[in-house]
Amino acid sequence: MREIHEVFPDARSLTERQRQKLCQMLSRAMLEMRLLGWGGKAGQAADLADAFHNLPAMLWSEDFSLDFFRTFLEGYRQKYPDGWGAGYLKMLEDVRAEEV
């Protein structure tokens, strides 16, 4: 079995500022899920939850990969091009800009 660093070379611990920004992303996603649910779009809300569901557990991991997380956000954006997926990708680039 390959190590995560072999598959995702960017895997490492996050800075406190990166964690804060990722938590802001998660908060935004939760708001969107609520709005989607109220709007009768349960499937889309479930897909958004799927894109974010590992984030809370991984925030303090020594092997967090922004590239891996990005694959889930990309999948959501591709499935719902008119949604807020591009906004999450922009927010993730802001997280990446916090790298030391």
Per-chain mean pLDDT for the chain: 91
How far, CA to CA in Å, does 39 sit from each of 4, 26, 35, 51? 38, 20, 6, 19
Give dist(CA 56, CA 63) in Å, integer. 13
Considering the domain boundaries, does residue 19 fall inside one?
yes
Task: Report the predicted TM-score, pTM, of the whole model to 2 decimal places.
Answer: 0.88
Helices 16-38 and 42-52 cross at an angle (nearest 10°) of 170
Does any domain span residue 1?
no
Residue 7, domain member (yes or no) = no
- pLDDT of 10 above 90: no
Share of the chain above pLDDT 90, in %: 79
- Number of Cβ within 10 Å of residue 7's Cβ equals 11
Q: Which residues constitute the domain of residue 60? A: 13-96
Is 2 among the domain residues? no
pLDDT digit string, tens, across residues 24-47: 999 999 999 999 999 999 999 999
CA separation for the pair 43, 41 (Å, rounded): 6
Residue 53 lies in a domain: yes
The tally of domains found in the chain comes to 1
39 occurs within a structural domain? yes
In this structure, is residue 21 part of a structural domain?
Answer: yes
Mean pLDDT of 51-67: 93
84 occurs within a structural domain: yes
